[in-house]
């Protein structure tokens, strides 16, 4: 029996491409998800899955669009709040004397996470104006980064914020219902947005970072990919720096040099 050509199964071809380029391990069980996520794009282009798989081998710009469509960007302000509490209670006081902090949010999605970090800085540091504080926020999805740049969020995305935090972080731009909010300029200025594929051989940033948030992205990677990524992240942490991963992500099965502080919270030596 002859070996099947990739175009005999274009969905499998696209899933292999997603894993090879972005580390996204969709697996056979995600076939229906791939077909659903790409359905609208196929209709826009007027082609079937077979023709689309051929297009992806020829058009790098379309690969970016495809990865955008296959990426899940569900998030909200102050998601997994234990990390933000630890950041404010433990990390910031340790850096108070030098008044300098570098933070990398490595899976930014639509921006709620880096702006939540900026809010933590604003509410915890009354002398923030005297700090040298910067947040690098990266994601593979250009579509998600565009929304992060707009910094506009519907009421459901900011539901975790109390009135005091809303006054500090947001401007009400539509009374609704539903209400719509925009992140205040002073918080937006702390966040630098950039596209980055975590699977790229070389990253443009050199670090070191005092804190790296890489949450709810490794669940899409297989174990060898997770191990490579965690060790690359660890190499960019400053001594005593902190790595936060998602609460559904465990590093217990992979080799890494970090010390476990709490669930999904790790520190470099």
Give pLDDT tens digits along the chain (269 positions).
333 444 589 999 999 888 888 888 887 778 888 899 899 999 999 999 999 999 998 988 898 888 888 876 678 999 999 999 999 999 999 999 999 999 999 999 999 999 999 999 999 999 999 999 999 999 998 889 999 999 999 999 999 999 999 999 999 999 988 999 999 999 999 999 999 999 999 999 988 999 999 999 888 888 999 999 999 999 999 999 999 999 989 898 899 999 999 989 999 98
Is residue 27 a contact partner of residue 70, using CB atoms and an 8 Å limit? Answer: no
Last residue of a domain, one of 70, 99, 126: 70
Q: Is 61 inside any structural domain? A: yes
- Whether residues 85 and 122 share a domain: the answer is yes
Q: What is the pTM of this model?
A: 0.85
Tokens 């998800």 appear where? 33
- Whether residues 62 and 85 share a domain: the answer is no
Domain that holds residue 15: 6-70
Q: Is 158 inside any structural domain? A: no
Distance, in Å, from the CA atom of 121 to the CA atom of 125, rounded to the nearest integer, reads 6
Number of structural domains (the chain) is 2
153 phi and psi angles, rounded to 5 deg: -135, 135
Q: Is 155 inside any structural domain? A: no
- Whether residues 141 and 211 share a domain: the answer is yes
Q: Give yes or no: 166 in active site.
A: no
Q: Is 154 inside any structural domain? A: no
Is residue 213 a contact partner of residue 104, using CB atoms and an 8 Å limit? Answer: yes
Q: Give yes or no: 146 in active site.
A: no
- Whether residues 31 and 91 share a domain: the answer is no
Q: Which of 201, 241, 202, 218 has its CA nearest to residue 103?
A: 241
- Whether residues 45 and 116 share a domain: the answer is no
Catalytic residue among 9, 16, 25, 37: 37
Domain with residue 130: its CATH number is 3.40.50.150
Is residue 243 a contact partner of residue 266, using CB atoms and an 8 Å limit? Answer: yes
Is residue 112 a contact partner of residue 154, using CB atoms and an 8 Å limit? Answer: no
Catalytic residue among 13, 68, 79, 139: 139
Domain with residue 41: its CATH number is 1.10.155
Distance, in Å, from the CA atom of 54 to the CA atom of 205, rounded to the nearest integer, reads 33
Enumerate the β-bridge partners of residue 213.
105, 244
Last residue of a domain, one of 70, 98, 113: 70
Q: Is 54 inside any structural domain? A: yes
- Whether residues 57 and 91 share a domain: the answer is no
> Residue 239: in which H helix or E strand, if any?
strand 237-245
């Amino acid at each position: 029996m002859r070996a099947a050509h990739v175009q005999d199964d274009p969905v499998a071809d696209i899933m292999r491409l997603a894993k090879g380029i972005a580390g996204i391990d969709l697996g056979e069980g995600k076939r229906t998800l791939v077909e659903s996520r790409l359905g609208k794009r196929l209709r826009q282009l007027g082609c079937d899955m077979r023709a689309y798989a051929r297009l992806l081998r020829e058009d790098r710009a379309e690969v970016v669009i495809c990865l955008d469509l296959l990426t899940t960007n569900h998030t909200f302000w102050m998601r997994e709040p234990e990390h933000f509490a630890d950041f404010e209670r433990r990390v910031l006081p340790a850096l108070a004397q030098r008044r300098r902090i570098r933070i990398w949010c490595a899976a930014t999605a639509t921006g709620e996470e880096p702006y939540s970090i900026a809010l933590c800085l604003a509410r915890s540091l009354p002398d923030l104006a005297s700090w040298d504080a910067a947040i690098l926020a990266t994601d593979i999805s250009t579509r998600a980064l565009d929304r992060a740049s707009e910094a506009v969020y519907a009421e459901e995305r900011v539901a975790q914020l109390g009135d005091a935090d809303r006054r500090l972080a947001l401007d009400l731009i539509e009374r609704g219902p539903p209400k719509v909010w925009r992140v205040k300029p002073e918080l937006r200025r702390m966040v630098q947005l950039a596209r980055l594929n975590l699977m790229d051989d070389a990253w443009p940033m050199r670090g070191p970072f005092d804190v790296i948030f890489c949450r709810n992205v490794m669940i899409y990677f297989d174990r060898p990919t997770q191990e490579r990524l965690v060790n690359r992240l660890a190499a960019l942490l400053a001594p005593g720096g902190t790595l936060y991963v998602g609460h559904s992500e465990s590093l217990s099965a992979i080799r890494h040099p970090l010390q476990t502080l709490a669930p999904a919270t790790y520190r470099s030596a």
